[in-house]
Amino acid sequence: MSGSPIAPLKPMPIIRTTQTIRYFQGVPIMTISTNTEALNATALATRAIHAGQEPDPTTGAVVTPIYMTSTFKQDGVGGLRNGYDYSRSINPTRNSFDEQLAAVEGAKYALSFSSGLAAIDVLLRSTLKPGDNILLGNDVYGGTYRLLSKVFVPWGIGLDVVDITDTAAVSAALAKKQYAYIWVETPSNPLLNITDIAATAAVAHAHGTKVVVDNTFASPVLQHPLADGADVVVYSTTKYIGGHSDVVGGAVVLNDKETRDAVAFLQNAAGAVPSPFDSWLDIRGLKTLDLRVKQHSRNAMKVAQWLETRPEVERVWYPGLESHPGHDIAARQMHGGFGGMISIQIAAGFEAAKKFAGATEVFTLAESLGGVESLIEHPGAMTHASVAGTTLEVPANLIRLSVGLEDADDLIADLEQAFRQI
Ligand SMILES: *Cc1c(COP(=O)(O)O)cnc(C)c1O
């Protein structure tokens, strides 16, 4: 017999216990309790499929139902069943996703929102007051910059922008002024710059500054900011977590109870919650995240390596390539791949870049990212138009690719025919 030896099996601890509590019209109603400690000891792919996904206690439905209800019957005034009163405050489908996401992240708490920007808004508004300052990376999602500069700055928040990949520059900025938060996006959008989360957290914490990581591009599969020292992680679940370009959503994930309570208070007070159907789509997406993100990464690596050989391309930005300035940090900080996002600069300039973005057939010209279908866009004219003329402006010849789950050779053939048209 040949082949690699099979590792001895670890005994599987008991994850779920079921107990009959009462009968309803002859049907036993069960309580199912999850041994969270045992479940959290399993691998990410297992947690993604089982955390928060207890079969329905009444019917045994394996998939969490979409509890499309705004309100819940009370058994006498104040007699709430399991705390359910009103769906802005609490909904079983949303709870199911929050538990699943917290377990995938290895965090204590996750709170979901109706969009990534709603999550960011509520995190900041619930924990900052006028006069506080934020130190922002110079290459972030355009909508985050718009929210901060056009809404939070007029509200009285101080905003400074720094080259976040340069720990010395970050350290110098932190020494000059007291910042409540430092905002990190890594890989960043759209240049895929890499920031060392652990090094940034060490410097920030020495100055009493908290670190927020927007982990949307890496997803919880490839990068674990809380374990690296970040205080809060935010997501646009619209992207890899939803994964099928069919839902807009966001989340705040963290371990600190005080911050969690502040965020939960404003979530309920202001109400930017996802619908039960949105939550169900997020649940379904998250179950296959591990599988998808690893394949996105394999496809993107193959496409990026091919792009590097092309004369039409002035520069490829992909953290998996050794030519990328953040490659060494990314290789240490990311696990199991470098993600599905690639940016390229077209040698012939702006007009050629626009033409190229309009010439692909498998890659769809559209904003957003992280879905199963490949997308192409021109950041300067599309996603990052709101940062034109600011320190966050992106190169005019830049094209961003969200590499999907089609066959990588088909994607390469599509890009090749588009190059022939510019
Ligand atoms: C899309 C995106 C957001 C905003 O999320 P929405 O769901 O569109 O509100 C924030 N950060 C990053 C990195 C994103 O890509």
Q: Residue 3: is its pLDDT beyond 60?
A: no
**Pair (314, 269) in one structural domain:** no
371 lines ligand 1 (CB under 6 A): no
**Pair (240, 252) in one structural domain:** yes
pLDDT band at 1 (very low <50, low <70, confident <90, very high): very low
Predicted pLDDT of residue 391: 77
Q: Give the residue from 244, 271, 287 where a domain finishes.
A: 287
**Pair (274, 325) in one structural domain:** no
Predicted pLDDT of residue 14: 75
pLDDT band at 36 (very low <50, low <70, confident <90, very high): confident
Q: Is 290 annotated in the active site?
A: no
Q: Ligand 1 pocket test: which of 124, 164, 236, 387 has the largest number of ligand atoms within 8 Å of its C-beta?
A: 236
The angle formed by the CA atoms of residues 300, 43 and 281, to the nearest 5 degrees, is 65
Number of domains into which the chain is organized: 2
**Beta strands 232-236 and 250-254, pairing class:** antiparallel
Residue 372 maps to a domain:
yes
Q: Which residues contact 121 (CB under 8 A, 6 or more apart)?
A: 147, 151, 272
**Pair (247, 359) in one structural domain:** no
**Pair (96, 148) in one structural domain:** yes
The CATH number given to whatever domain includes residue 333 is 3.90.1150.10
Predicted pLDDT of residue 389: 83
Task: Provide, rounded to the nearest whole percent, the portion of the chain with pLDDT above 70.
Answer: 94
Predicted pLDDT of residue 224: 97
Determine the average pLDDT of the residues in 388-417. 94
**Beta strands 210-214 and 181-185, pairing class:** parallel
Q: Give the residue from 239, 269, 287 where a domain finishes.
A: 287
Q: 236 CA distance to ligand 1 centroid (A)?
A: 5
Q: Is 214 annotated in the active site?
A: yes
Residue 9 maps to a domain:
no
119 Cα nearest atom in ligand 1: 9
Catalytic residue among 121, 139, 214, 231, which?
214
Note the pLDDT tens digit of each residue in 173-218. Answer: 999 999 999 999 999 988 999 999 999 999 999 999 999 999 999 9
237 lines ligand 1 (CB under 6 A): no
**Pair (201, 234) in one structural domain:** yes
**Pair (279, 305) in one structural domain:** no
Residue 8 maps to a domain:
no
**Pair (277, 311) in one structural domain:** no
**Pair (256, 124) in one structural domain:** yes
The amino acid at residue 82 is N
Q: Is the peptide bond before 13 cis (omega within 30 degrees of 0)?
A: no
Residue 5 maps to a domain:
no
> Ligand 1 atom 6: the closest Cα is on which residue?
116
The CATH number given to whatever domain includes residue 32 is 3.40.640.10
The amino acid at residue 262 is A
383 lines ligand 1 (CB under 6 A): no
Residue 11 maps to a domain:
no
Q: Is 23 annotated in the active site?
A: no
Residue 193 maps to a domain:
yes
116 lines ligand 1 (CB under 6 A): yes
**Pair (68, 129) in one structural domain:** yes
The pTM score is 0.93
Name residue 109's beta-bridge partners: 254
Catalytic residue among 47, 239, 292, 354, which?
239
Q: 6 CA distance to ligand 1 centroid (A)?
A: 42
Q: Residue 7: is its pLDDT beyond 80?
A: no
> Ligand 1 atom 1: the closest Cα is on which residue?
236
Residue 10 maps to a domain:
no
Residue 204 maps to a domain:
yes
**Pair (283, 298) in one structural domain:** no
Q: Is 141 annotated in the active site?
A: yes
Which domain does 127 fall in, by range? 17-287
**Pair (136, 243) in one structural domain:** yes
Predicted pLDDT of residue 24: 63
Q: 189 CA distance to ligand 1 centroid (A)?
A: 10
Radius of gyration of the chain (CA): 23
Predicted pLDDT of residue 27: 64
239 lines ligand 1 (CB under 6 A): yes
Q: Residue 298: is its pLDDT beyond 50?
A: yes
190 lines ligand 1 (CB under 6 A): no
Give the 3-state secondary structure percentages of the chain, helix then strand then coil, rounded to 5. 35, 20, 45
Q: Give the residue from 287, 313, 344 where a domain finishes.
A: 287
Task: Provide, rounded to the nearest whole percent, the portion of the chain with pLDDT above 90.
Answer: 81
Predicted pLDDT of residue 10: 67
Instruction: Tell me the average pLDDT of the chain.
Output: 93
Determine the average pLDDT of the residues in 75-100. 94
